[in-house]
Structure 1
Amino acid sequence: MLSIDNKPSRGRGVALLCAGLFLSTASAAYAQAPAAEAEAAVDAAEAIVVTARNRAEDINDVPIPISVVSGETIAQQRVFTIADLTQRAPGLTATTPNARRTGVSLRGIGRTSGNDNMEAAVGVIVDDVFLGHVGMTYQDFTDLQQVEILRGPQGTLLGKNTSLGVLKYTSKLPSFTPEGVIELEGGLSTPSFKARGSYTNALVDDVLAFRVSFFVDKQRGDIRNVNPRGGYWHERDRWGGRAQLLFKPSDNFSLRLNLDSAETNENSNTKPFMVDPATLNDGSARTTTYSTRLARSYFGGYTPIIGSWRTIDMDQAEPLITRNRGVSVIATWDTGPFELKSISAYRTFHFDAKNDSEQTRFAIARGGTLVDTEQLSQEFRIAGSLTPSIEYQAGLYFFRIETDTTSRNLYGADAGAFYATNAQYNTLNTPTGRELLRASLANIFAFSNQNPISDSQAAFAQFDWKVTDRASITAGIRYTREQKKSNITRTSFRADGAPLVSTGNATADAIRSAQLGTDFATITGERIDDDSISWLINPNYKLTDDVLLYASASGGGKSGAVAFENNGTRRNVKPEKTTDFELGVKGQFGPLTLNLNAYYTKVRDYQNVTSEPDPSSSTGYSSRLGNIPGVKARGVEFDAALQLLDGLSLTLGGAYNKATYSDWSTATCPRSYPATVAICNNTGRQVVGAPRWTIITGFNYVGELSNSGWSVHAFANNSYRSRHNLEQLLSDYGWQKGYNLTDVGFGIIRDHGGAKTELSVVAKNVFDTRYTTSINDFSNTAPIGYDGIGARRYVGALLRTQF
């Protein structure tokens, strides 16, 4: 949402890290504007400054559809995760069951989930550094100056895999003037402890400054484990910090060192089972289901938990561990005629999941993926003016990312009785045969390892030509060269180190073979060496000093992927291509700030994870990364902010998004269809995870109490999403009904001697709406699972002091 801070303006320009611009003075994040410019501003509203085009600009002068969430809003309304951000920005959706399965989309397109060969189409950039693995976004983002959500292709300037949009995070910068903040929060509805803080000051006056920040976020889970092991799942247990140094030996040179670390170790890796259909959609009975397997006499009349939002029964899962760490060095040199900037960065991502695969109290299987990713990036930028009317930005970008990902399954003593077919179980369901059931899979460890590596080099340039005092044209181009390779290995062995030998029984060996598949030595994938071009033409016209009209045409995409079938067969994924057209108006209309935009986006060979029938799999299906021939998104979106009176602002945002498959006539049918109907025509259907309507409303009020030094603060924010399908093959069981999420808060603020203390109560999801952001269809071994259950109602008390 557009953001209006209800406090005196600190200026209109922002000295942020951007192409060719650093801190003109590092004493504050905001630079003071000239008096004439300040007087020309609308009295009721503070200018919003963005760096969407790698330079500081008033949002109303940038011909791009942008939503901005200010640092003040982030802190007061507790907007720390990408899931929180979706409630503030029209067209932005996300599913965040865990780091590896995080999926971010704009306008319904771009969502990824659980495949480390796949790159995101919605880029996330934090302090000028592109995050190459979507799991790097799975953390609390704190101590922020603001977040910008840029919709539409941004590839010419913002680079790799931004063909559908960008989330651009900007941290607060070191200052030469001491200032700090400390926050303590406790749960009133749910046991929790949360703390955040930051401090900045000079180490050497006007030359060297630092800034440090930290966060701790602990909250009891929403889902109780009824297993004797106990505990709560869907919890929060995360912490992290950031340290920055700013070295500014002269007015024209600066160097910034940034180190950050964030970690989670939380019981969050669960997907409650909701429905286990007994029949297919033609009325025919399913012969083997999750429920019928557990109804076997071996399991002693056990009744699994199906349909509960509050309870689960698990004894094999372990806390999910995620670590994100990075370092960057940003150097800026203003030569006078032009400015040079260098951004060097290194990041790591670690993910370790050990899930209870069947979510029962039996020793059936524990599965999960281990991921380690390293990325190294280097960017050089130059910015200046060719003529008084033509400005330019250009640069070079180098990027390398390497991932080691291992899918692991450890089978327990009860696995054979569960995974056996009905005929196999009946054959071995005798006193002696049950020992063979256990021997078939007990203590067997199976893993599949892949090692995707990607190198990328790019050259880019963008020009802004001021044709007249009111008319301008922006044009840009980016050439990217990429090299990709990968390999895969699959093997099985006994976890105790003993040889994996035959059980001596053909039926027991068949159970094992069906579950483990075929081992194979390392297979090298088909290498990719390809290039691509991103382009932009963006004319705009100042209708008045406060109103901008703009249009754009652009193209971009992302490279293909080295991929494999489950049996190791090489099968690469084709590159994805995007063409986009935008038409919009934005500006200040008295007390109203409005951003209105219409768009048409076409994606060819859309990369996505889907399912296909697989007789060799015990589930009957297997997941694969592939291409959907065509997707289109057409719609209208808007952001508005209305300053009603001093201290009170209303915000309204929304989107109508008709995002459909323009060509997917050969889709695999959902699993509710009989095997005789293998192909479904999904052409014309709404894209998975794309609500047709999104509406976001809110207000923010800050008012002083009779010059007493006391103020009150109140806010509310409601986001609505219409009914949409969340299952990757558009199953009838994949529908999420329309829902509202509402956050509210109220607090009192004491201003004393330049410091401020606020005591407030904040409620998230105040009406306790039950919803999910991801649904997994049923299989022969699992019911329908809600993989992305949203956080339930939380009410917390917050003490926040700024000094």
Structure 2
Amino acid sequence: MKALLLSTVLSAGMLLPAGPAAAQAAEEGAEAPANGNEIVVSARRRDEALQEVPQTINVVTAEQIEKLNLRNFTDIQALVPGLTLSGGGSFSTSATVRGVAFNPEASGNNATVEFYLNEAPISSNFLFQSSFDVGQFELLRGPQGTLRGRASPSGSITVTTRKPNLQKAGVSFSATATDTHAYKGDFALNVPVIGDVLGIRLAGVIDENQGNQIHSIKEDGNYTPAPFRKTKGLRASARFEPVDFASFNFMYQTLRSRQVQFSSVESASFVTGNPSVATPVINPFDRLSLEDSGSRQGQDQQIYVWSGELRFAGQKLSYTGSHNHQDFLSLAASDGADYFGPPRFQLVERTFRDPTGYEAVCSEQSLRANLTPTNQAYFQCTHGSASRNSHEFRLSSDERVLGVFDYVAGFLYDRNITPSRLTQETPLMNSAGTAVSSINLTSIVRDANSTEKSWFGNVIAHLGERAEVSGGLRHINYRNFSSFLQNGNRTIPDRNNTVEATVWSGSAKYRFSEDLMVYGTVGTSWRPGAFAIGDFNLQPTVRERSFFDLPPEKSTSYEIGVKTSFLDRRGRFNVSLYKQDYDNYVYRGNSVYFINYSLQGGVVRSSVSSFNFVAAVPATVKGVEVEGAFQITPRWSVSSNFSYADGQIRNGTIACNDINADGKPDTNAALPTVAALQAAVGPGENVAQCAYSGRTLTSPKWSANMQSEYNFPIFDTAGGFVRALVNYTPRNEGDPNNTNDDVSAYALANVYAGIRASDGSWELQAFAKNVFNTRRILSQGGAPLSSAIRTTAGGTINYVSDYYSVSVNSPREVGISLRLAIGSR
């Protein structure tokens, strides 16, 4: 019966327009719209109904997060087509929206998508580690900057944690366990210390799982453990409202994360069709790795956010301040091709600071003490930290000025300090490649900081009851500094400059009726020039530098849209079309071979290395976004989203693999020799460049989702429910220079069923994610894994393995969750 009901729900839902899932009442302390089912957002720094804002906004509420068992921050993307969040659990995180990507390693935290926690700007890595006690998630699409935080070309993501309730005490708890060895428990305790005046809230999380669920073929439980990810977090919040015209909030969060993860491979026979040469034979869906120790990472985070608000004479003075700090450590194996795997080379276990092996001593001296010529795995050890302080002051209208104008004016100060220390190990072989003669250590010391000061303002003019126009400006003063030392040598000049820029925005909307509104927006954005770290060449050329040190990026965006509701607001349907033109868009492609000069045995020698360089290119993105929801009956709701983005680069110049020197990027380029690469790039150059016209991203141009819920009574105090979430991804050709990474269309379906109390005080749920165990290869290397092995004589041994890198989607996961709440939520 339940299977029949679920099938009916899915079939009916696919006939309905696309849109976000459920509505949520206004957050505690905010004035709710007249219709209690409206979603309330703060996109324009005031609480408004979603349908009133002339902008495309996607909202995921706390209720949805609980109902759909979204345990990690990156799970949010399942509800927001066109948004890709990757790197959860690591310190290299990225976000993609509207056809362009944010990669922090390329942009130095100058994002295409800016992130905010309780209205304070925050680096994405702080949010990606875990998600607990969240009030609401909002994605504001399109250029931002004249109303909040920093300028960002493609959108902003705001996360709001739950605030203390000043009237009612409460405690809540939830726990989840799955067949994939994932366990998560979180709690919240709310105490109104002084009724209507002072309240505190404590929340915490313990989250343990296997991360990407890739195991090593050499897993032994000791030197090569099973993959894991362990996170613990605690948050304390206080809310103080001593008088009607003043309110203050404070939040502190600490989080600790540890993990060991592996990279997946497959045997070449599954790519080429030829018999496998090496053993074991690994199927792409075996979820296996050749790595001996994997990538070991640890992070410790501290976040402070405080805010205050004073209301007087129809005006509002607001302040938000924040301080956050994190330390991260990574010990990543450098032998992806497994050249140094046994039985050719003896396994020697490393000495770690603690017996569990996460906290590697990351210094050149300690690494040298642990090295012997028989070491089997070679590493890159990275130790970094990031500190950020921000202060934002705003003066805004609490009541309309002259009955016509709403305004916001303010000042932002934002400072980032991001030093890092990195040590690379490079084994030097004898000329035959049969023995390690010595081990070369390369020390990288990078210091970086940036300071932004910006002044902003925005005015909205209400022209009667139906129309409004708005406009805003932000003037930016941005200073950044970076220095780079390699083995004590300043191979790249210090970067120390100050730039200024101004961005602006304008919008107009007209409401034909309570159920129909049209709008148009135009806006500009700006990002400081990217500086990509990872090319550690001792002798970089001018061309090579142009592919990791870029000029500022500018863009202009245009958007028109329609927002509608129908059947007494039981349903809504919104659609928007946009176009955005970029100058100096930061494009990052796949790894490119280059001639790398490094110190080997006290002598500077050349070898072939690879790096995914960046480039400043012209680009245009066009797209459409559709959303809709419908309450079919009081017990049955359905909603879905659709997003299409076509980003195109026109005649840009990029770093490329061009071994045949025809001026076009090679397809499935294999590892070349130093001589072959030097002949291709030309005398005095280290890397080839090509004219490129093509997509800004290799991800699918469009995607869609649909979700539905049906609930039914069982007892007077409890009822049952069935839920479903389906995500559809179309066929995608991937990288045009890699014929192996095309992906056929697929759909992933999650189903949920259970029983809950009528008052929402408890819920017991069983679920299956990827219920049909759909399997797809999402990416695949264009050539076999290989390594350029250096010798003491200055030569190179090109080793090509019988395996390709591969990534696949997550397998089916079956689990159960329990949620309990007493008093306030």
Asked if TM exceeds 0.5, the reply is yes
Deviation string for 1:656-694 (max 9, x for gaps)?
2222222325551256247659555431x2222431221
TM-score (norm 1): 0.82
* Matches of 1:308 and 1:440, distance apart in 2: 38
Q: Paired residue for 1:153?
A: 143
* Matches of 1:97 and 1:733, distance apart in 2: 26
Residue identity in the other structure for 1:150: L
TM-superposed deviation, 1:400: 0.4
* Matches of 1:274 and 1:467, distance apart in 2: 63
* Matches of 1:245 and 1:654, distance apart in 2: 39
- Counterpart check, 1:764 vs 2:733: no
Is this contact kept in 2: 1:229–1:315, CA < 8 A? no
Is this contact kept in 1: 2:647–2:697, CA < 8 A? no
Is this contact kept in 2: 1:99–1:136, CA < 8 A? no
TM-superposed deviation, 1:273: 2.6
User: Which of 758-767 and 789-798 deviates more?
Assistant: 789-798
In structure 2, the CA distance between the partners of 1:750 and 1:633, relative to structure 1 (3 Å rule), is same
Partner of residue 596 from structure 2, selected from 583, 603, 616: 616
Question: How big is the alpha-carbon RMSD for the aligned residues of Structure 1 and Structure 2?
Answer: 3.1
TM-superposed deviation, 1:306: 7.6
Residue identity in the other structure for 2:575: L
Partner of residue 119 from structure 1, selected from 99, 103, 110: 110
**1:540-619 alignment to 2 at 5 Å?**
540-562=509-531, 566-567=536-537, 572-590=549-567, 591-610=570-589, 611-616=591-596
Is this contact kept in 1: 2:592–2:613, CA < 8 A? no
User: Which of 572-581 and 58-67 deviates more?
Assistant: 572-581
* Structure 2, unpaired ranges of 5+: 1-17, 343-375, 598-605, 657-664, 671-676, 682-687, 788-799
* Matches of 1:536 and 1:152, distance apart in 2: 11
* Matches of 2:654 and 2:531, distance apart in 1: 22
Partner of residue 172 from structure 2, selected from 181, 187, 193: 181
Q: Paired residue for 1:399?
A: 414
Q: Paired residue for 2:635?
A: 647
Q: Paired residue for 1:265?
A: 258
Deviation string for 1:516-537 (max 9, x for gaps)?
xxx6247542322111112111
TM-superposed deviation, 1:704: 2.9
Residue identity in the other structure for 1:721: T
Q: Paired residue for 1:48?
A: 39
TM-superposed deviation, 1:372: 0.8
Deviation string for 1:324-375 (max 9, x for gaps)?
3210110111113210111110011222221222254451412243221111
In structure 2, the CA distance between the partners of 1:152 and 1:772, relative to structure 1 (3 Å rule), is farther
* Matches of 2:254 and 2:611, distance apart in 1: 32
* Matches of 2:419 and 2:269, distance apart in 1: 37
Partner of residue 692 from structure 2, selected from 678, 682, 695: 682
User: Which of 215-224 and 121-130 deviates more?
Assistant: 215-224
Is this contact kept in 1: 2:615–2:653, CA < 8 A? no
* Matches of 1:142 and 1:475, distance apart in 2: 36
Is this contact kept in 2: 1:238–1:263, CA < 8 A? yes
**1:354-753 alignment to 2 at 5 Å?**
354-359=331-336, 360=338, 361-362=341-342, 363-384=376-397, 385-411=400-426, 415-417=427-429, 424-425=431-432, 434=434, 437-441=435-439, 444-491=440-487, 520-521=489-490, 524-562=493-531, 566-567=536-537, 572-590=549-567, 591-610=570-589, 611-616=591-596, 620-623=608-611, 625-664=613-652, 666=654, 668=656, 669-670=665-666, 672-673=668-669, 676=680, 678-683=688-693, 685-705=694-714, 708-724=716-732, 730-751=737-758
Is this contact kept in 2: 1:86–1:93, CA < 8 A? yes
In structure 2, the CA distance between the partners of 1:199 and 1:3, relative to structure 1 (3 Å rule), is farther
TM-superposed deviation, 1:218: 1.1
* Matches of 2:760 and 2:239, distance apart in 1: 24
Residue identity in the other structure for 1:733: N
Deviation string for 1:198-252 (max 9, x for gaps)?
1212112222100111111112452233315246655432121211011111111
Deviation string for 1:495-518 (max 9, x for gaps)?
xxxxxxxxxxxxxxxxxxxxxxxx
User: Which of 643-652 and 152-161 deviates more?
Assistant: 152-161
* Matches of 1:321 and 1:364, distance apart in 2: 20
* Matches of 2:133 and 2:618, distance apart in 1: 40
TM-score (norm 2): 0.80
- Counterpart check, 1:802 vs 2:802: no
Deviation string for 1:3-61 (max 9, x for gaps)?
5658xx8x5x54xxxxxxxxxxxxx355456xxx3xxx3xxx71110111111000000
Residue identity in the other structure for 2:170: E
* Matches of 1:576 and 1:780, distance apart in 2: 35
Partner of residue 353 from structure 1, selected from 322, 330, 335: 330
Residue identity in the other structure for 1:94: L
**3-state DSSP of counterpart to 1:691:** coil
* Matches of 2:625 and 2:520, distance apart in 1: 14
Deviation string for 1:590-637 (max 9, x for gaps)?
232111111111121111334443122788343255333112111211
In structure 2, the CA distance between the partners of 1:755 and 1:567, relative to structure 1 (3 Å rule), is closer
Is this contact kept in 2: 1:448–1:488, CA < 8 A? yes
In structure 2, the CA distance between the partners of 1:603 and 1:660, relative to structure 1 (3 Å rule), is same
* Matches of 2:804 and 2:461, distance apart in 1: 53
In structure 2, the CA distance between the partners of 1:263 and 1:774, relative to structure 1 (3 Å rule), is farther
**1:228-267 alignment to 2 at 5 Å?**
228-230=219-221, 233=226, 235-267=228-260
Q: Paired residue for 1:68?
A: 59
In structure 2, the CA distance between the partners of 1:131 and 1:73, relative to structure 1 (3 Å rule), is same
* Matches of 2:270 and 2:444, distance apart in 1: 32
Q: Paired residue for 2:91?
A: 100
In structure 2, the CA distance between the partners of 1:216 and 1:350, relative to structure 1 (3 Å rule), is same
**3-state DSSP of counterpart to 2:64:** helix
Is this contact kept in 2: 1:527–1:562, CA < 8 A? no
Is this contact kept in 1: 2:267–2:281, CA < 8 A? no
* Structure 1, unpaired ranges of 5+: 15-27, 286-290, 296-300, 492-518
In structure 2, the CA distance between the partners of 1:790 and 1:595, relative to structure 1 (3 Å rule), is same
Residue identity in the other structure for 1:718: V
Determine what percentage of the aligned residue pairs are the same residue.
Answer: 21
Is this contact kept in 1: 2:164–2:200, CA < 8 A? yes
* Matches of 1:589 and 1:326, distance apart in 2: 43
TM-superposed deviation, 1:148: 0.9
TM-superposed deviation, 1:84: 0.9
Kindly tell me the number of residue pairs found equivalent between the two proteins.
708
Deviation string for 1:102-160 (max 9, x for gaps)?
2101022023164473532111111101113x322321222112111111111211232
**1:209-358 alignment to 2 at 5 Å?**
209-220=199-210, 222-230=213-221, 233=226, 235-268=228-261, 270-274=262-266, 307=284, 309-317=286-294, 319-358=296-335
* Matches of 1:240 and 1:89, distance apart in 2: 26
In structure 2, the CA distance between the partners of 1:174 and 1:787, relative to structure 1 (3 Å rule), is farther
TM-superposed deviation, 1:407: 3.0
TM-superposed deviation, 1:97: 6.1
* Matches of 2:384 and 2:200, distance apart in 1: 33
